[in-house]
A and B are shown apart, each in its own frame.
Chain A
Amino acid sequence: MPKREDIHTILVIGSGPIVIGQACEFDYSGTQGCKSLREEGYRVVLINSNPATIMTDPETADRTYIEPMTLENIEKIIECEKPDVLLPTLGGQTALNLAVDLAERGVLAKHGVELIGANLAAIHKAEDRQLFREAMQRIGLSLPRSGVATSLAEARHIVKDTGIPAIIRPSFTLGGTGGSIAFHESEFDSRVEWALSQSPRHQCLIEESVLGWKEYELEVMRDHKDNVVIICSIENFDPMGVHTGDSITVAPAQTLTDREYQEMRDASIAIIREIGVETGGSNIQFAVNPRDGKLVVVEMNPRVSRSSALASKATGFPIAKIAAKLAVGYTLDEIRNDITRVTPASFEPSIDYVVTKIPRFTFEKFPGVDNLLTTQMKSVGEVMAIGRTFKESLQKAVRSLEIGHAGFESPSLPEGPDGERALWAQIDTPRPGRLWAIAEVLRRGGSVEELYARTGIDPWFLRNVAEIVAHEQELIALPAAQRAAALRPAKQAGFSDRRLAALWGTQEDDVRALRQTHGVLPVYKRVDTCAAEFEAFTPYLYSTYEDECEARPTQARKVMILGGGPNRIGQGIEFDYCCVHASFALREAGFETIMVNCNPETVSTDYDTSDRLYFEPLTLEDVLAIVEKEKPLGLIVQYGGQTPLRLALALERAGVPILGTSPDSIDRAEDRERFDVVLEKLGLLRPPGGVARSIEEAEKVAARVGFPVLVRPSYVLGGRAMEIVHDVNALRGYMRYAVKASPEHPVLVDRFLADATEVDVDAICDGERVVIGGIMEHIEQAGIHSGDSACSIPPYSLTKTVIDEILESTRRLALELGVKGLMNVQYAVKAGAVYVIEVNPRASRTVPFVSKAIGRPLAKLGALVMVGKTLAELGFTSEIWPRHFSVKEAVFPFVKFPGADTLLGPEMKSTGEVMGIDSDFGRAYAKAQIEAGNSLPSAGTVLVSVKLEDRAGICDGVRELASHGFKVLATPGTAEALRQLGVLVEAVPKVGQGTPDVVQRIEAGDVDLVINTVGSDAGAVRDSASIRRAALLRNLPYFTTLAGARAAVGAIRALQLESIGVRALQDIHPR
């Protein structure tokens, strides 16, 4: 049946900010979905609060609302856009939950909007644990024994039957938020309470543990004619007990016979039919008992998911795109397979390679947080690698991760029995480093059998790791003269040049030279959905070491873009956005574009984003090999964040042409001493400081500039290991433990400008002309990482003199550094003086935000400048001063990390961002807060507990809240200070100093807003942490800086004046 003609306008709900469990894979699927619907001639209306997405580019949908994703706002959008249908399956759990609420509250019925893709009943059956269980029973399938609890008492009753360890899964949450495993009786109550508090329905499942069973996922698609296909089977390396998002996963399934697999396939089809997902994709998870093959259903997601993004990249079958087409009435046999062009989409992809995904963690950002992996997802990104064998794909995935591993290096362990114990401790409980610990056990002679007994990881996987380790031993033992002959087998097993160099005690360059001498070079194979049965027209490629190369490079003018690798805190979707824009702009300008990246969640790794896609690790070796094959006229390394930038100098040394700002210019900006010369020449200020390569040097610099000092390693992104240090002891500790400073790894020591205002500037320069894209004034003061700080375009408090000085300084810096393309400068303004904090001659995290605030695509313009266009040719010659305010706010993962403090500091901790746009600052800020989950109350009780220095500063704000009818609670010191300044306040005891104390008051629901600032004193931080944690757990809006609190008061004022409205991006920036 062809597409529905009764539909004109389709409303699509995006997934909002990037959080753990819901990341840029939903930009990938959402963008695909929107494109695919518009291709069919539908009018697409989109709401998504996340500006750093391709999905929210004004070209992706007809009408784009970057607005708080609330029911009220969506209803307003429905009122003005009058959509016929709502497609809720592309925007993750966020969109699905919103759609359920809209339907249940009658909003959809009232406006005659039909749900397509998944109906309400199907969503309920899949998401409600009890209904799902009943549905499975109806079709005769098994689940682990379990019961649904809505209270602790019910949970206690259920666990008597299901037993300990118990799996606790809240309903209607994403990424397993609130889920956990109670290994012991004593943990049970608190974990259930936590789960109940995290479920929007206050409901959770208490489930029999199938820890150690094998875990599988099937990606299923169905059309309205009831044709069902399985796109991909995925087997988890880590058995049940680790969230699939935190597991190493492999496609296709490796350790099932066809008989067992087909039973699983039949079960999937029965499930999708019973649940009633009429069209689109679903993800179904199973557990299999390795001893007897027993199959149990774990769960189902009636929507596209992280796994469906992975399955799409793993097979070349674009699940989201096809799901969108099915939702509007097509059947699978009516849709063409883009890759083969001649066959229909009604088939099941066959692949002739192995895909391995490894998650990327950032526990180092959250000191004190346990890095144990359980049923709640904690990873922030992932890599995928393709190899012809599992060993090859695993080793490629390992080096794609960028965590310092070129292969299976030994973990650092103490000598002797302590080391042995420490090693096995890493085996017995799943943690991020377990893979390397497994290799080390095998290296030390441990057996696959024992590892299997202690991990439950299938022996097939373990034996492959054992084979890699044995291969290493053979390579080490090899006489130098025989290395050349050993190269090809080693490369086929996936060994990197760097790892081979380490095994042989030589340099990576030597191994590469040896390979080149002996002609041991990679070939490139195509991902074609069909294991070569049909010709592939899409150059989606991966490397391997075999005979035949299918790359077939063209003679076109081509530009290669290096992507950002795995998402991590500090380097996320914003950089992928920039890479995608570079590709789009250059394709439009007539270049052939070649994308290189290894992140399966992204738009950049969609096979039709660029002319050619190399799904490869972003290491020097892998990039050079592609350059040799493709011979592009140049590379863009400035768009993918630190990952490609780190390769710039080495690539240039190897003779690879780098487009835009030269690596030397980048180095001039990034190298502290060289940059000082630049500043001196231009007469610009910077906070006094210096470079330290030892503890003594650091002390010397600190003595010269005075404490507090800001310390950080050079060449970092996201404030990794950045700290504000207040005395010499802390400085010594930092130098010794935190960074291990050395001549190769210098540390920057700068005077910290307390209470300065921070300013971010994104600019573009063609070598002759500089245009400022946007000046962002931060809300939080200097000392809070710029990625974690809210900011506003235009500045909301800076004077014209300061703004002019910033404009002028930025121009001079860009010209002096010879920037060709994008540049980001960070300033601190204190007492009217403007200090340069740092200059990054590359795309920054804020480029998408600025582009959406001013209505010009900075990343595209920058890419065109890099290939020689002038800003005059591009028609971008003067600054744009928007009449509205745009506020960016950060979104944090604290809720996923029990024990993490929510205080902000110089180390970046946010995973995502949202954007609020409105006519004044207060309203824009209010929108951004709502989007970030800080739903500001317009009345109620505010709890204030601030450090001594802030007490005077907070007074006006609190007084204003009181005048709006807020009741004020405060801890004793703060209460006293406020009282003296004439504010009516109720004092509340600090924790443990009386009952009910401040935390008990929060837990009792007496508080609606928390303002809590704390000094640098570790004791004070510790004492107040429970306040912040309690606020977090109760989902209360909280502010930990004076500036943030003041802005919040302004926002509450704005909200009281008028309820917020919605406005499409296309109206804010008319063409």
Chain B
Amino acid sequence: MRANRSPARLVLADGTSYRGSAFGARTVGVGEVCFNTSLMGYQEILTDPSYAGQIVVMTYTQIGNVGVNREDDESERPRLEGFVAKEVFEQASNWRSQESLPAFLERTGVPGIAGIDTRALVRRIREGGAQIGVLSTDAAQQDEAELLRRARGAAPLDGRDLAAEVTCAAPYDWTQGRWRGIEGQVPRPARPEPSYRLVAYDFGIKRSIVRRLVEQGFDVTVVPATTTAAQALSHRPDGIFLSNGPGDPAAVAGIREHVRTLAQSLPIFGICLGHQILGLALGGKTVKLKFGHHGGNQPGQDLATKKVAICAENHGYAVDAPSLAAAGEPVEITHVNLNDGTVEGLAHRTRPIFSVQYHPEASPGPHDAVYFFSRFREMVRRHKAGEKVTGAQIAAGTADTKG
């Protein structure tokens, strides 16, 4: 492990440079460097399409311990630009492991750097904010000045329509629920009846979200980010879901119009990027956070119940609360992050629409916020039954909180 390591280098646009050893693919990745504070779940992070355009630093130091397995993939393949860890293990120890982490990254083309002071790097990002970095595991491309030039020359995340890069090419149906889990776990409720039809916009959708929706009794059709309102309606859905996804919500081309159209007639639920897009469609603005929220330990408070869910979060942008108020749309803030007060949830006062910034599907992270899925089902059910239900009513109610 110590001898004959091949070199790797990470250079930030501010000139900070780290020399470590390479793992995964031997290539060069360019992306915004962000850190994730989850102690477990590196595989879900790696396969979460929301990390497109980013280089992810794990704050926890022992990575690769449990290898990689197919059941935990959040998408077909990693979309991120690079992966940074203190120490990576070549051999996995877990009964479900099918491949080692380095082998997985090599196969999927993701460069990794290990053996650097990741805490110093994280503190750098915390103090200086998110910035572009270049990660090279190519032994022939280790020149610091050259890598720095590339970092400074790279396009920032702002304004890049990354969703277009990671969305699916054509609509498809998804029918699987979650991985069956382990013997001895808390029993899961049965899939409720009847089923409802759902169109899920894929801006980089995580499989865990679709799986949770399926478990809530939705027959899900996943559609590309470019799907028009008319195309979506052609699936005769009972509700619309707006997925998570990478990068700048304001850059996702054309989507606001379609969302506004769909909002006229159907219940809508958005998660993460989908929540931000909803915020934009309702006339609000989004802002870029200094270094975002990426981790599984964030306190998300439900303003209706005052209860705090420990949340999985992964976002670099947030909906700007004052802009929403200024837009005059009857939307209320339903959830906030207690660490910094950012908007984490929205609900419409007159229409069946709500959204959440964090990840109720977790993966990785705690399941505290799964109640959003059953709330969505409740909203769709009541809407379909002809009730005039609003997102705000649902958010204020004491909906069933058990996943």
CA distance A525 to B86 in the complex (A): 14
Whether the pair B183, A293 counts as a contact (CB closer than 8 A) is yes
Q: How many angstroms from the CA of A1038 to the CA of B72 in the assembled complex?
A: 62
A347 near B298: Cβ-Cβ < 8 Å: yes
Interface check B323, CB cutoff 8 A: no
Cβ–Cβ contact B297 & A291, under 8 A = no
CB of A295 within 8 A of CB of B119, answer no
On chain A, the residues within 8 Å of B87 by CB distance are: 388-389
User: B298 contacts which chain A residues (CB < 8 A)?
Assistant: 347
Contact A267 B185 (CB under 8 A): yes
CB contact between A548 and one of B3, B41, B120, B301 (< 8 Å): that residue: B120
Contact B122 A262, beta carbon cutoff 8 Å: no
Instruction: Encode contact with A along B166-206: 1 for CB under 8 Å, 0 otherwise.
Output: 00000000000001011111110000000000000000000
Interchain nearest-CB distance for B74 vs A (Å): 11
Q: Across the interface, do A256 and B185 meet the contact criterion of CB distance under 8 Å?
A: no
Contacts of A290 in B (CB 8 A): 95
How many whole Å from A1021's CB to the nearest CB in chain B? 50
Please tell me if the beta carbons of A350 and B295 are within 8 angstroms of each other in the complex: yes
In the complex, per-residue mask of A248-261: 1 if CB is within 8 Å of any chain B CB, else 0: 00001111111111
- Residue B235 interfacial (CB < 8 Å): no
Shortest Cβ distance from residue B72 to the other chain A in the assembled complex, whole angstroms: 6
Which residue in B38, B120, B186, B297 is a CB contact (below 8 Å) of A258? B38
CB pair A463 B91 closer than 8 Å: yes
The reply to whether A474 and B183 contact each other, CB–CB distance below 8 Å, is no
| Interface 0/1 of A132-148, CB less than 8 Å to B | 00000001111000000
- C-alpha gap A877/B366 in the complex (Å): 61
Question: How many of A's residues come within 8 Å of B, CB to CB?
Answer: 71
| Interface contact B86-A343, CB-CB below 8 Å | no
Judged by a CB distance under 8 angstroms, whether B40 is at the interface is yes
On chain B, the residues within 8 Å of A428 by CB distance are none
B371 near A: Cβ within 8 Å?
Answer: no
State in angstroms the CA–CA spacing of A258 and B91 once bound together: 18
A471 within 8 A of B: yes
- B293 to A, closest residue via Cβ: A533
Near B by CB (< 8 A), chain A positions 489-535 give 489, 525, 530-535
**Is the pair A262, B367 in contact by a Cβ cutoff of 8 Å?**
yes
Q: State which of B139-147, B223-231, B239-247, B305-313 sits at the interface with chain A.
A: B305-313
**Residue A950 at the B interface, CB < 8 A?**
no
A226 at the interface (CB under 8 A from B): yes
A680 at interface, CB cutoff 8 A: no
Q: Is the CB of B362 within 8 A of A389?
A: no
Q: Are A532 and B310 in contact (CB under 8 A)?
A: no
Say if the beta carbon of A1003 comes within 8 Å of chain B. no
CB distance from A972 to the nearest CB of B (A): 60
CA–CA, A295 and B119, complex, Å: 34
Contact A333 B184, CB 8 Å, known A351-B39, A352-B122, A548-B123: no
- Closest B residue by C-beta to A352: B59
A352 with B65, Cβ < 8 A, contacts A258-B363, A265-B366, A548-B117 known:
no
Looking at the assembled complex, report how far the CB atom of A435 sits from the nearest CB atom of chain B, in whole angstroms: 18
Residues of chain B within 8 A (CB-CB) of A349 are: 297
Chain A residues in 8 Å Cβ range of B37: 350, 352, 530-531, 533
* CB contact list, A345-372 vs B, under 8 A: 346-354
Is the beta-carbon distance between A350 and B59 smaller than 8 angstroms?
Answer: yes
B94 part of interface (Cβ distance < 8 Å) = yes
B2 interface neighbour in A260, A346, A471, A531, Cβ under 8 Å: A471
Instruction: Pick from B126, B182, B307: contact of A294, CB below 8 A.
Output: B182
A266 at the binding interface (Cβ < 8 Å)? yes
**Which A residue sits closest to B364, measured CB to CB?**
A258
Given the known interface contacts A255-B65, A352-B60, the answer about A489 and B184 at a Cβ–Cβ threshold of 8 Å is: no
Q: B3 to A295, Cβ gap below 8 A? A: no
- A140 — which chain B residues lie within 8 A by C-beta? 186-187
Q: Which of B69, B122, B186, B367 contacts A531 (CB 8 A)?
A: B122
Cα–Cα distance between A227 and B300 once the two chains are bound (Å) = 11
Contact B61 A389 (CB under 8 A): yes
Chain B: interface residue total (CB-CB under 8 A): 61
A270 proximal to B (CB < 8 A): yes
CB atoms of B62 and A256 under 8 A apart: no
Q: Which of A255, A332, A532 contacts B123 (CB 8 A)?
A: A532
| Cβ contacts A209-244/B at 8 Å (1 or 0 each) | 000000000000000011101100100000000000
State whether B62 touches A354 (Cβ < 8 A): yes
Residues of B within 8 A of A531 (CB): 37, 59-60, 119, 122, 295
B222 interface residue per 8 A CB criterion:
no
A389 touches B41 (CB 8 A): no
Any A CB within 8 A of the CB of B66: yes
State whether A292 touches B95 (Cβ < 8 A): yes
Name the contact of A295 in the complex, choosing from B86, B93, B182, B367 (C-beta under 8 A).
Answer: B182
- Cα A259 to Cα B71 in complex, Å, equals 10
Which B residues are CB-close (under 8 A) to A226?
307
B398 in the interface, Cβ–Cβ < 8 Å? no
Judge whether A546 and B72 touch: CB under 8 Å. Answer: no
Q: Is the CB of A294 within 8 A of B61?
A: no
CB distance from A1035 to the nearest CB of B (A): 38
**Chain A nearest Cβ from B76, distance in angstroms:** 19
Interface residues of A in 283-310 (CB under 8 A from B): 290-296
A296 vs B66: C-alpha distance when bound (angstroms): 20
CA distance A354 to B61 in the complex (A): 8
| Cβ-based interface call for A154 (8 A) | no
A351-B365 CB under 8 A given contacts A227-B308, A532-B126, A548-B117: no
Known: A140-B186, A294-B182. A227 touches B93 (CB 8 A): no
A802 contacts the other chain (CB 8 A): no
Any A CB within 8 A of the CB of B43: yes
Contacts of A294 in B (CB 8 A): 182-184
Complex CA gap A463/B1 in Å reads: 12
Q: How far is the CA of A463 from the CA of B94 in the complex (A)?
A: 13
For residue A39, CB closer than 8 A to chain B, the reply is no
* A342 contacts the other chain (CB 8 A): yes
Is B44 among interface residues, defined by CB-CB distance under 8 A? yes
A352: which B residues are within 8 A, CB to CB? 37, 59-61, 86, 118-119, 122
Closest chain B residue to A492, Cβ basis:
B115
Near A by CB (< 8 A), chain B positions 54-88 give 59-62, 65-66, 69, 71-72, 86-87
Q: From B86, which residue of chain A is reached at the shortest CB distance?
A: A388
Assess the B126–A533 pair: CB atoms within 8 A: yes
**CB-CB under 8 A for A259 and B339, given A226-B307, A350-B37, A532-B126:** no
- A346-B338 CB under 8 A given contacts A258-B72, A533-B37: yes
Q: Which residues of A contact B40 (CB under 8 A)?
A: 252-253, 256-258, 261
Q: Mark B327-339, 1 if CB is under 8 A from A, else 0.
A: 0000000000011
Most buried by A among B60, B86, B184, B295: B184
- Assess the B126–A257 pair: CB atoms within 8 A: no
Chain A residue with the shortest CB-CB distance to B40: A258
A349 CA to B71 CA in the complex, in Å? 27
Q: Quick check: A344 and B182 within 8 Å, CB to CB?
A: no
A976 touches B (CB below 8 Å): no
CB distance from A823 to the nearest CB of B (A): 45
Q: Are A333 and B62 interface neighbours, CB within 8 A?
A: no
Most buried by A among B3, B41, B182: B182
Closest 8 CB pairs of A and B: A258-B41, A258-B364, A548-B120, A295-B184, A531-B59, A460-B93, A546-B117, A140-B187
Knowing that A259-B181, A262-B366 touch, tell me 17 more A-B residue pairs with CB under 8 angstroms.
A226-B307, A252-B40, A257-B72, A258-B43, A258-B363, A259-B363, A263-B185, A293-B95, A293-B182, A295-B185, A344-B339, A350-B39, A352-B119, A389-B87, A459-B93, A471-B2, A525-B119
What is A's interface to B at a CB cutoff of 8 Å?
Answer: 139-142, 225-227, 229-230, 233, 252-263, 265-267, 270, 290-296, 331-333, 342-344, 346-354, 388-390, 458-460, 463, 467, 470-471, 474, 489, 525, 530-535, 546-548, 550
Could you give 19 example pairs across A and B, Cβ below 8 Å?
Answer: A140-B187, A227-B307, A252-B39, A255-B66, A255-B94, A257-B94, A258-B40, A270-B186, A295-B182, A346-B299, A347-B310, A347-B338, A349-B297, A350-B297, A352-B60, A352-B122, A534-B339, A546-B117, A548-B119
